[in-house]
Structure 1
Amino acid sequence: MSNYNKDSLFSLIKSLNRSEKRQFKVYVHRLQINTDAKFLLLFDALDKLEEYDETIILKKKITTKQQLSNLKAHLYKQILVSLRMSPSQQNDRMQIREQFDFATILYQKGLYKQSLKILDKAKFQAYELEEKAIAYDILELEKIIESQYITRSISGRADQLIQESEELTLQNLQTNRLSNLSLKLYSLLLENGYAKNEEEINKIKNFFLEETKEINLSDLKFKEKLWFYKANVWLAMLIQDSDYAFEYSKKWVELFYEKKERIQQHPVWFLKGHTYLLKILYLKKNSEEFKFWYEKLEKSSLDFPTTDNVEALWFVTKFNSKLNYFFINPKENISPFLIKDILREIKIHQRKIDNHHILILYLKIAAYHFLNKDWENSFEYCQKIIHSDFYIQEDLHFYTYVLIMMNLYDSGNDLELDSYSYKTHQFCKKMKNNNSITRKISLFFIELNDLYPQEKIKAFRDLDKFLIEAESDELLRRNTNYINLRRWIKDKI
């Protein structure tokens, strides 16, 4: 996994497609004076590099080391201005903002009626798309114009603007409160992980109830409902209530199907909703529902806007879902070209997605090879995770070790199994969030190689019994879903 993020300018240039690079050149050459501009020479030099290397740039003598920082900042700005003008980068929000900027220019030129006319159209569009924050900015400029100049635009205009402003303030306050709640719960999930006991569950639930006690769902519009459903999904995942998570992730997705035009306007949140819905259906092992919602998403993907962000997110969701469906239904045939497709797409999208998602795909590829008794390839992809240069979440790290030991046991590599069982046990002891399952599994593999054949059957039976009991505990159930350890144990019994 190459790290394109060492330099922000380099990473921006590498994100450009051919069309965007061509447009940048056209934009720069609109002025004859820019033909041999230093920032254009710097652009060409960086574009040819595979990895960012400042020494190579300085050797080309485009600029001095002291001036390089300013030249890079100037080039960065020019690229963004060029992209801002690109039709492919336009969306409804940007178009409304553009109209607002035009109205501001007209206001500053003293052309007040023309400014108000543009503002009125932009505000109508903002209301239609529920872009309330932008609508509020438009209202503020309208009030400035009306209060400073005698426009005689509409009788009773002041009262109308005051009423609109008060209504928008209340709506924005509601949206802000729900978005803050959603963000807070999501940050808790990332920082602290899942609730570990009843005390933590009750604390999270009480916090949520306090923050939502004045919410009336029937009063909420699209965006407020979206934030409310998202907050409920984060809550459900924090307290590990899969039925609750399914209910609200489904509502999240259905909200978009009720207003299909919103899919084009907010494709990321539409995809995110499906991602969580499919993830929960995978954890619940609900094959029929999983297939239904994935096929519905795949059909909707034909209408997605073609932006880098959406394409990268769709790549992650699509291939995760295909692999998850295979794990629910291992007897289903899966194309042998799927893994090649995934690896090819990883190379295309690696700079646009975080490394954790790539490592998760590697674990699923390793599990796929393991189920097909291809222990060599399975072991290879586990190694890619273990020896990654990037941060690895400890639960992903632990279950990668477990899959390695399953590989080594099945392939008869007893010597390596001893080595990895010790490494896993040492890692388990250092884990921040280790629990009875991780400790039990760790000790099981430590002891496995020292047992006689007749003793191994009993050890496998004991571990299977323990995992069955652990699965009845909602707080521990999720731990057994990374890899199908129980299926492997049953094969051994």
Structure 2
Amino acid sequence: MPKQKTDDLLQLIVSLTRAEKRHFRLFVKRNQSSNDILFLQLFDHLDKHQEYDEPTLLKKIPEIKKSQLSNLKAHLYKQLLTSLRLLSKNYNEDIEIREAIDYARVLYNKGLYQQALDILDKAKQKARQSKFDTLTLEILEFEKRIEGQYVTGSMEGRADALSLEATELTELLHKTNQYSNLSLQMYALYLKVGYVRNEKEYDFARETFEGQLPQADYHQLDFWSKVYHSKAHYWYHHMRQEFPQCYRYSERWLTLFSESPESISLHPVEYLKGLHKLLNALFNTLQYQRFCEIMKMLEAFPTHYDISKNKNIEGLYYLFWYIHQIKFHFLQGTFTEGIVLVKPLMKIIEEETYYWDNRRILVFYYRIACLYFGSGNNSKAIDYLNLIINQKNPDYREDIQSFARILNLIAHFELGNRQLVEYQVKSVYRFLAKQEELNEVQKEIFYFIRKTPRIRTDELQAEFKRLKETLSSLEGKPFVRRPFLYLDIISWLESKMEGIPVQEVIRRKFLARQEKAQQQK
């Protein structure tokens, strides 16, 4: 068995829960003694040692010959998947529906056409109720195949009814695929560049979006078309920094599940993503009270859905939970309190508990660095920024890579490392110029940092004030305001001017917004 396949087998075994391991052993032993099953002995060995050491394995289990290993590992992998499939069908309705299709196929092969049709009809009703449209179409095609060979005569117009049903569903799926393709393309573009940086990218996003946007009345769409319609619009407006529109479409996304509560347990991934996008939009529009309300909905999710049964759902839940717990502290200006999240979060990342992708981990490093920077611990901020800066040729989230370098300069400036700052300014400038990242805000920051080694202490306050006034005038400009989404540079400058920690400035602004909101009620 090739090394990659061996690694896959070991990774699968390590990922198993205690209940899944118990089920597998019962599944294997159902008809035979475990002492006679070599692949179960192999499983027990790998489960115990959590690593693949072939010489040790052959020594510990002499019944296994070296020539057998490749086939034995492949068989074990297949048996594990079969066991997991059996266990998963109890809480994955789509697996149960596919099983019914398989049973119908077996009956069809035996020539028991009416029995096959009975099973398919029940499966089709369940698939329709659960909004598994592709499975519904697969069942319809199977029904048409049987009816074309075995005419029941039990339903007048059966052929016409099946043909019409299949046509309508095909058109519906075509529309859904158009929206899902557009949503995926918008997401891929965002992963590449983040927020649009200039008018050229702004227009490119618009042309890409409008060129592929289906012309349809939203209210006439089905559930999934509406979900993907909302997702596509969310990503489009998000990368263009049009956050009120992001709020509109993420709210619409979540409303679809509120109006169809049974869809939450059937499609928990899309529900969690809807909560996540709405929280992002609320954070970017500074709607604190509504943010807290939706955060409670996210935190309540495990009380309604047993996330321990599904590693993917569990990983997604904790991914979003940590993202928005950190943002909660960003909103409030409670950076020091937020540091408590770092240790358990890093444990998940380092142990690869949920196999989060590198892009998400990169963003977490940046957010952790911001927590430490906001709390005044610049050395720790630099440690996490270096985890981003020292990555070898990553081809994703150029925005995070760029702003990590800017924040790194500011953190070194705070520590008084003037010579190091002077040296790094040039390399960071070259990096940003190569990435086409340099805009007016960044140029002003570079101009300030580059001349700091020559500024007298008694002149610093005036320079801080000058930079703040310049940046404040740029904050409302399209494209130019992008840096403020990654780093609250204005609050940092105010903290330097007043001689207080940056989190105190941000906290003060938060309390002022809260007081204003109360007065407007």
Give the TM-score normalised by structure 2.
Answer: 0.84
Q: CA RMSD in A?
A: 3.1
Note closer, same or farther for the CA distance 1:190–1:341 as it changes in structure 2 (3 Å cut): closer
Greater CA drift, 104-113 or 291-300: 291-300
Q: Hey, what does 1:268 align to over in structure 2?
A: 269
Letter in 1 for 2:355: K
Letter in 1 for 2:455: L
Q: How does 1:69-218 map to 2 (within 5 A)?
A: 69-87=70-88, 90-218=91-219
Q: Hey, what does 2:513 align to over in structure 1?
A: none
The C-alpha deviation readout for 1:296-339, integer Å capped at 9, x for no partner, is 33234422342111111111111111111111111598476433
Q: 2:448 aligns with which of 444, 448, 454?
A: 444
Letter in 1 for 2:92: N
Q: 1:310 aligns with which of 289, 309, 313?
A: 313
Note closer, same or farther for the CA distance 1:410–1:387 as it changes in structure 2 (3 Å cut): same
Note closer, same or farther for the CA distance 1:124–1:17 as it changes in structure 2 (3 Å cut): same
CA distance in structure 2 between the partners assigned to 1:390 and 1:5 by the alignment: 27
Note closer, same or farther for the CA distance 1:122–1:158 as it changes in structure 2 (3 Å cut): same
Note closer, same or farther for the CA distance 1:309–1:348 as it changes in structure 2 (3 Å cut): farther
Q: Would the aligned equivalents of 1:104 and 1:115 in 2 still touch at CA under 8 Å?
A: yes
Letter in 2 for 1:342: L
Q: How does 1:216-227 map to 2 (within 5 A)?
A: 216-227=217-228
The C-alpha deviation readout for 1:73-114, integer Å capped at 9, x for no partner, is 332222111100114773121111111111111111222221
Aligned pairs, number: 490
CA distance in structure 1 between the partners assigned to 2:13 and 2:24 by the alignment: 11
CA distance in structure 2 between the partners assigned to 1:250 and 1:343 by the alignment: 31
CA distance in structure 1 between the partners assigned to 2:488 and 2:58 by the alignment: 53
* Percent of pairs with identical residues: 34
Is residue 394 of structure 1 aligned with residue 395 of structure 2?
no
Q: Hey, what does 2:326 align to over in structure 1?
A: 323
CA distance in structure 1 between the partners assigned to 2:41 and 2:129 by the alignment: 45
Q: Hey, what does 1:379 align to over in structure 2?
A: 382
CA distance in structure 1 between the partners assigned to 2:446 and 2:5 by the alignment: 36
Note closer, same or farther for the CA distance 1:68–1:200 as it changes in structure 2 (3 Å cut): same
Q: How does 1:291-440 map to 2 (within 5 A)?
A: 291-306=292-307, 307-331=310-334, 334=337, 337-347=340-350, 350-387=353-390, 391=394, 393-431=397-435, 433-440=437-444
Deviation at 1:134, TM superposition (A): 0.8
Letter in 2 for 1:454: D
CA distance in structure 2 between the partners assigned to 1:6 and 1:73 by the alignment: 9
Note closer, same or farther for the CA distance 1:142–1:342 as it changes in structure 2 (3 Å cut): same
The C-alpha deviation readout for 1:52-76, integer Å capped at 9, x for no partner, is 6677667868767776554433322
2:155 counterpart SS class: coil
Letter in 2 for 1:201: Y
Greater CA drift, 138-147 or 344-353: 344-353
Q: Hey, what does 1:20 align to over in structure 2?
A: 20
Q: Hey, what does 2:518 align to over in structure 1?
A: none
Deviation at 1:291, TM superposition (A): 1.7
Q: Hey, what does 1:7 align to over in structure 2?
A: 7
Q: Would the aligned equivalents of 2:335 and 2:372 in 1 still touch at CA under 8 Å?
A: no
1:130 counterpart SS class: coil
Q: Hey, what does 2:237 align to over in structure 1?
A: 236
Greater CA drift, 91-100 or 422-431: 422-431
Note closer, same or farther for the CA distance 1:188–1:54 as it changes in structure 2 (3 Å cut): farther
Letter in 2 for 1:273: G
2:367 counterpart SS class: helix
CA distance in structure 2 between the partners assigned to 1:229 and 1:345 by the alignment: 31
Q: Would the aligned equivalents of 1:264 and 1:305 in 2 still touch at CA under 8 Å?
A: no
1:449 counterpart SS class: helix
Letter in 2 for 1:271: L
CA distance in structure 1 between the partners assigned to 2:237 and 2:317 by the alignment: 24
2:10 counterpart SS class: helix
Q: Hey, what does 2:492 align to over in structure 1?
A: 488
Letter in 2 for 1:28: V
Letter in 2 for 1:276: K
The C-alpha deviation readout for 1:213-256, integer Å capped at 9, x for no partner, is 53121211111100111111121123332222121111111211
CA distance in structure 2 between the partners assigned to 1:405 and 1:55 by the alignment: 51
Which runs of 5 or more residues in structure 2 are unaligned? 498-521
Note closer, same or farther for the CA distance 1:58–1:35 as it changes in structure 2 (3 Å cut): closer
